[in-house]
Homo-oligomer: A and B are copies of this chain.
Amino acid sequence: MDRLDRKILRLLQEDSTLAVAEIAKKVGLSTTPCWRRIQKLEEDGVIQRRVALLDPAAINAKVTVFVSIRTNSHSNEWLKRFSEVISEFPEVVEFYRMSGDVDYLLRVVVPDIAAYDAFYKRLIAKIEIRDVSSSFAMEQIKYTTQLPLDYIQLAKEPGSSS
């Protein structure tokens, strides 16, 4: 993993429809080695998948709700079942086990408050939860799938000696 790989990843995180030749030009390689690098990044699982991102408004899912959950049971058994139940809901797009005050945090996407209420009822019907607290997002100021590439451990590269 070197500077070139990082550049390639940066481009593909922006737009995965770029042609290999196009990427090669931008990173300063010819197409064959650039193609091989991309292959390798996919084999190694650095690039996990390529997906289409949709406009939330266009599919009537523009309200984000953060749901903080506190629980009584902390057994593995319970967590397993809990995870399965939660993950089945397509409205739940993110789901974290947290440290501190709150045990779990969900990001839920729905059309409006009424739909959230319906979701909430379906959720608590399926599993018992001690304490639930919902916070509504008024505005999504930034949302990106582009992870920061500044922390990658770069391997030694040729041409770095004086």
Contacts and interface: CB of A to CB of B under 8 A. Distances in A.
A9 to B, nearest CB: 6
Q: How many copies does the complex hold?
A: 2
A59 interface: yes
Contact of A97 (B90, B141, B146): B141
Interface residues of A, number: 67
A149 interface: yes
A34 to B, nearest CB: 14
Interface in A55-73: 55-56, 58-61, 64, 66
Contacts of A52: 9, 12-13, 16, 47-50
Contacts of A32: none
Given A97-B138, A141-B87, A147 B12 contact: no
Interface of A: 9, 12-17, 44-56, 58-61, 64, 66, 83, 86-87, 90-102, 104-105, 109-111, 115, 135-153
Given A12-B51, A87-B141, A97-B137, 8 more contacts: A9-B54, A44-B58, A46-B55, A51-B53, A53-B145, A59-B147, A59-B151, A66-B98
